[in-house]
Amino acid sequence: MNSEYFMNLERQYGANNYESLEVVLSKGEGVWVWNVEGIQFMDMLSAYSAINHGHRHPKITKALKDQIDRLTLTSRAFFNDKLPLFTEKICKFTGKEMFLPMNTGAEGVETAIKCMRKWGYEVKGIEPETGEIIVFEENFHGRTTTIISFSTDPGSHDHFGPFTPGFKIVPYNDTEAVEKAINDRTIGILIEPIQGEAGVNVPDEGYLTKLQKICRKHKILFACDEIQTGFGRTGKRFCFDHEGLDPDIIIMGKALGGGVYPVSGVAANKDILGLIKKGQHGSTFGGNPLACVAGITAIDVLQEEKLIENSATQGTYFMKLLKQLEGNSKVEKVRGKGLLIGVVIKQSAGPAKGYVKKLRDEGLICKETHDTIIRFAPPLVITKDQIDWAFSKIQKVLGD
């Protein structure tokens, strides 16, 4: 049973909802993965930043194994002895007063939307069922029906209607457009500090600060989707830390599960999350003991092993190397923060997908986005020597 066998089997029985790179992985450790034939590759995607801690981090996997032998699921019909510890850990890590746990990133965003609307009607006094949340062009917050209602990506949006109302879409990196969009029905702003799926779209320095000031001025909520950018990915605890901000709502997921379990949630103060009453929101699996142990240990490892600091150091180094390729016959621009980096391929050099396949053949796996951008986001445990190795492959494929 080789790679072709597994790929053909999935093509036969699986829904055709992903265009996967043709590599069949069966083992991982740290920054490395192996396919079913035993060929080694460096992981430069980290499951879209869900594997910040590296594949199979020993402390995280041990904690999960130990918990499996004790208790896995209770639902929220009962208390368990891990959720209280998890909520305390998150609140101390974020500086917020409350945390509501869910499973997937999209569920975290849906939770934030519900919390924002409840606050808008019960605190701000907007007429119920009329509130608007400002969102941004090229956003990616998930694929539920409500979330794709405010997507500007035709692949995510088209032919899935009718759509959920209550969202106003404005250009990204444009504060004037935000100011013009605000009216007496505006509840708040929902934003990705860096748009990952849009191709690591980094806004101007100070843009997020201006948005927070606008929110304070108009007494509306400022919600940051840190699902992909959180937990050290950009070289800070959260991406909004680069500008010293304090969002009203922090949405998190991906790396919170330590690369082994889906964990997400929303952190906010009691004036927002305290509005959710018994029975108004929840999840059978949200806050289960396994998820809580994964989240607790993921944060412990992040802090104990100084992975945030390593992301900043290695990200700066990696960006410096990649910038050497800017302006050659293939690379138009390199952008990013920490270890979330996008390399924009020139239109004249052909689609990014072809270069992604060449990089795979050199032992480095990554993924294109929006046809012309290659995203590099290795696990935060990566070393300088490993970056040097990766860049030698990248230079071979993308250099002149």
User: Torsions phi, psi of 178, nearest 5?
Assistant: -65, -45
Residue 1: pLDDT above 90?
no
> Which residues make Cβ contacts (< 8 Å) with residue 279, sequence separation at least 6?
none
- Crossing angle between the packed helical segments 307-323 and 289-304, to the nearest 10 degrees: 70
Residue 121 is encoded by which pair of tokens? 């009607």
When divided into structural domains, the chain yields a total of 2
Cα separation, 225 vs 136, in Å, equals 12
How many other β-carbons are positioned within 10 Å of the β-carbon of residue 233?
30
Residues 223 and 324 in one domain: no
Residues 101 and 210 in one domain: yes
Residues 209 and 253 in one domain: yes
* Whether residue 78 lies in the annotated active site: no
Q: Letter for the amino acid at 354?
A: G
- Do the Cβ atoms of 283 and 294 come closer than 8 Å? no
Residue 40: pLDDT above 90?
yes
382-398 pLDDT tens trace: 999 999 999 999 999 99
153-193 pLDDT tens trace: 999 999 999 999 999 999 999 999 999 999 999 999 999 99
Looking at every residue in the chain, the average pLDDT score rounds to 98
pLDDT value of position 28:
98
- Domain span at residue 324? 3-56+306-398
Catalytic residue among 96, 118, 168, 254: 254
Average pLDDT over residues 327-345: 98
Residues 33 and 103 in one domain: no
* Whether residue 225 lies in the annotated active site: yes
Type and span of the H or E element at 11: helix 3-13
127-152 pLDDT tens trace: 999 999 999 999 999 999 999 999 99
Cα distances (Å, whole numbers) of residue 154 to 164, 215, 295: 16, 29, 34
For residue 58, whether the previous peptide bond is cis, meaning omega lies within 30 degrees of 0, is no
Residues 355 and 278 in one domain: no
Domain end point (choices 304, 319, 335): 304
Average pLDDT over residues 110-126: 98
> Which residues make Cβ contacts (< 8 Å) with residue 300, sequence separation at least 6?
59
Residues 14 and 25 in one domain: yes
pLDDT band at 278 (very low <50, low <70, confident <90, very high): very high
Cα separation, 252 vs 87, in Å, equals 13
pLDDT band at 359 (very low <50, low <70, confident <90, very high): very high
Domain end point (choices 304, 325, 356): 304
287-304 pLDDT tens trace: 999 999 999 999 999 999
Average pLDDT over residues 63-68: 98
Residue 361: pLDDT above 90?
yes
Average pLDDT over residues 179-208: 98
CATH number of domain containing 324: 3.90.1150.10
CATH number of domain containing 275: 3.40.640.10
Residues 181 and 203 in one domain: yes
Residues 314 and 299 in one domain: no
210-241 pLDDT tens trace: 999 999 999 999 999 999 999 999 999 999 99
Catalytic residue among 86, 225, 367, 391: 225
Average pLDDT over residues 310-315: 98
DSSP 8-state assignment for residue 30: B
66-99 pLDDT tens trace: 999 999 999 999 999 999 999 999 999 999 999 9
Strands 186-191 and 132-136: parallel
Cα separation, 238 vs 226, in Å, equals 7
Domain end point (choices 276, 304, 332): 304
Count Cα atoms within 13 angstroms, Cβ side, for 98: 14
* Whether residue 277 lies in the annotated active site: no
244-276 pLDDT tens trace: 999 999 999 999 999 999 999 999 999 999 999
Residues 31 and 116 in one domain: no
Cα separation, 47 vs 56, in Å, equals 13
pTM: 0.98
Cα separation, 258 vs 260, in Å, equals 5
pLDDT value of position 111:
98
330 CA to centre of own chain: 28
Residues 119 and 26 in one domain: no
Catalytic residue among 140, 167, 238, 240: 140
Residue 54: pLDDT above 90?
yes
Residues 137 and 226 in one domain: yes
User: Residue holding tokens 């690369």?
Assistant: 259
Average pLDDT over residues 332-358: 97
Residues 217 and 294 in one domain: yes
